[in-house]
């Protein structure tokens, strides 16, 4: 169990801050400090905005919110990851599936599975210790005969089978197929292009990278089929093994094994389409299993 204070509201004055402090003090006294405590902020904010230095705040929670673009919201996950004193961070409310984009369905429509996958990988690869999935119909348990809030598209009992929900587990299997407790964010693995808004990209096209602390592997999230280059020389080993991981179905495909060079260029399997992929590059000597498979087995090369 985790205690989450606040409730989708900002802290606007010292009196409100004292109320939160008092709640936290009471919880610590009541459970003896057994359970973690955090704070649920308002949209576009994090608990760090007001509370990062509070000793009772065990980890930061963000509400990056119901927008599709990386810059201005999801990039703040890395900002919180880098704060001192060090505290873990999680996005407690990213864009929900089938939610009005930026609360403006008339002009921007509703999110789809791809729109909730992007924040999943942006957050995880930029330093979040986990992720939260939500659906616009499920949070309000909407069904015919009940008052809808912000135009839900389907009853909750249909929404629980929407594709984005099931695709969340693919990210977990991917990350756990490599030594994940020593994983760190590292966008410097991506070689910027001219213009940089192409690579590493902007808006919904932003690429994000993470790696093992020992440089034995790298994971790069690619939201669209655009060729890019990776600083492969940063990785360990004399030979590298590269894979494409499909975040829609959790399957992986071997690209090649090759001698390490300073950089290497990759093109996603379907160029030009707004289909996302994860590039996985391993130190071949580690013989990690295919991405998404349990560690303990070994890679089988054809």
* Domains of the chain, earliest start first: 2-176 (3.20.20.80), 182-286 (2.60.40)
- pLDDT value, residue 294: 87
Using an 8 Å Cβ cutoff, are 223 and 118 in contact?
yes
Please state the pTM of the whole predicted model: 0.94
pLDDT in tens, 64-76: 999 999 998 999 9
List of residues 6+ apart from 176 with CB closer than 8 A = 294, 295
Mean pLDDT of the chain: 96
70 and 223 Cβ atoms separated by less than 8 Å = no
pLDDT of residue 300: 46
Which residue is listed with tokens 């509070």? 54
Q: Is the peptide bond before 195 cis (omega within 30 degrees of 0)?
A: yes
SS3 213: coil
pLDDT at 302 over 50: no
């Amino acid at each position: 169990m985790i205690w989450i204070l606040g409730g989708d509201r900002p802290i606007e004055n010292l009196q409100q801050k004292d109320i939160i402090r008092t709640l936290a003090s009471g919880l610590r006294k009541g459970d003896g400090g057994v359970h973690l405590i955090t704070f649920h902020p308002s949209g576009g904010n994090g608990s760090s905005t007001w509370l990062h230095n509070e000793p009772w705040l065990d980890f930061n929670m963000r509400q990056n919110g119901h927008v599709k673009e990386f810059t201005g919201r999801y990039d703040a996950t890395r900002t919180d990851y880098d704060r001192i004193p060090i505290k873990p961070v999680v996005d407690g409310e990213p864009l929900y599936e089938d939610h009005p984009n930026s609360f403006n369905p008339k002009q921007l429509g509703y999110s789809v599975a791809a729109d909730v996958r992007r924040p999943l990988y942006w957050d995880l690869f930029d330093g979040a210790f986990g992720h939260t999935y939500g659906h616009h119909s499920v949070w309000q348990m909407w069904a015919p005969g009940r008052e809808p809030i912000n135009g839900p598209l389907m009853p909750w009992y249909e929404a629980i089978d929407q594709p984005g929900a099931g695709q969340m587990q693919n990210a977990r299997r991917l990350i756990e197929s490599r030594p994940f407790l020593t994983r760190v964010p590292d966008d410097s693995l991506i070689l910027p292009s001219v213009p940089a808004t192409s690579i590493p990209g902007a808006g919904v096209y932003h690429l994000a990278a993470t790696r093992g602390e020992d440089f034995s592997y790298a994971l790069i999230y690619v939201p669209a089929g655009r060729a890019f280059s990776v600083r492969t020389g940063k990785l360990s080993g004399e030979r590298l093994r590269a894979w494409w991981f499909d975040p829609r179905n959790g399957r992986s495909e071997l690209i090649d094994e090759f001698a390490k060079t300073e950089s290497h260029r990759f093109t996603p399997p379907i160029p030009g389409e707004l289909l996302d992929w994860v590039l996985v590059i391993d130190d071949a000597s580690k013989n990690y299993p295919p991405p998404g498979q349990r560690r303990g087995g070994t890679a089988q090369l054809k």
